[in-house]
Structure 1
Amino acid sequence: MTISERSSHQQLPWSAGRWTHAPVSAVAEGEDLVVTAAENSDAWRLTSYGFIHDSEHALLDSFPVGAAVEVTFTAALPEQFDQAGVFVRIDAQRWVKAGLERSDGRLQLGAVVTQGQSDWSVAPADEWSGQRVTVRVSRTGGALIVRAGLAGQDRQFVRVTPLDPEQVAEAGPYLCAPTRAGLSVRFHSWHLTEADTALH
């Protein structure tokens, strides 16, 4: 289904997606979905660390050109490498994860772009800890544009990265807990809307 066949700003039900890897639990509480990650869940390919991790919990639906995916969640990520945000997947070797991750004692806003091997860019976002955060990924032309911000406020630019418009992609909320058991993330909403029309 294309974005033109949906409403221009549609809240997707949690039942719309399919998990790349099933979490320990995913429990609806009102409009929210509270998801508990498995220990050692992660997504990474090779760079610097030398390993391949393909065990993230990503709830994905179709992501057509001209659409944007918005996910809002509470940024309660207290332990090393706890992470949550938006996952975009083409296949096992080509994907993007964008959002928040606890790294070296700080909450970091960033993205991992993977084309066979992963890269990673971050910037500190400690002031967002415990707050509702919205991550938005737009697919327009041959690019993905990532923005994020506190829910209800302006979103700041995070990343632009290429994505072939001919590729079939899926996207939706995700979380990982590479170093521990017990991470639970409360997701508040998942929207499909029109993509950003400009980079700036």
Structure 2
Amino acid sequence: MNLRLIGIGAGVLIILSLPLAGAIAGPDFAGQDDGKGGLLSTLGLSGPADADSSHTPNQVGSSKPAATPATQSAQPGPPEQPRTDSRCGPELSSPHGVEAQTCVLVAEGQTWGRSYYRNTSGRALDAVLTVMGPAGRTVQIQCTVGAGDEPGLCETPREASAGAPDTYSAVAEFAVPDDEGELLLRSGSNSPAPGDG
């Protein structure tokens, strides 16, 4: 009868020491056996994944399922971007604190206008960007230019090209958004450089 009590007591002691032994051993993050064999494997017990289901995968001693190999082959690099040709006017600035450069861009049979700007005037402005092409084709968009000196851009939608790139031009006009609409700066893709008369 004493042997039975000793056996039960030893079993209870082993069961109570398992969580402590698991916490001391720590998780095997590399997913590899370190050659020492853990206490659980020495006793022939299953790993923590088969233990108490209340453990979450991020707790100490838990295991994550093995990663499965990807079935898709990885691309050797980013896809090649189509070439974009641009024809830009000079960078212009006004004494009111507006700077801009306006361009005509062409890529993959499409043409559009873009104006890069910086507004240090201290107030929000309206910008109207117009692209003029052959046969009287015109595309226009209005952009709100926020106050602040962060650079921004205003861009028209892309349209199918109807002629050679040099038959297109773009003009951006920056104005105060009120009834008078005071024009602060006009920037074009074919504007003369400052000092060119």
- Check whether TM > 0.5: no
Larger Rg: 2
More strand by share: 1
Which has more helix, going by share of residues?
2
- Higher relative CO (CA 8 A, sep ≥ 6), structure 1 or 2? 1
Give the TM-score taking structure 1 as reference length: 0.31
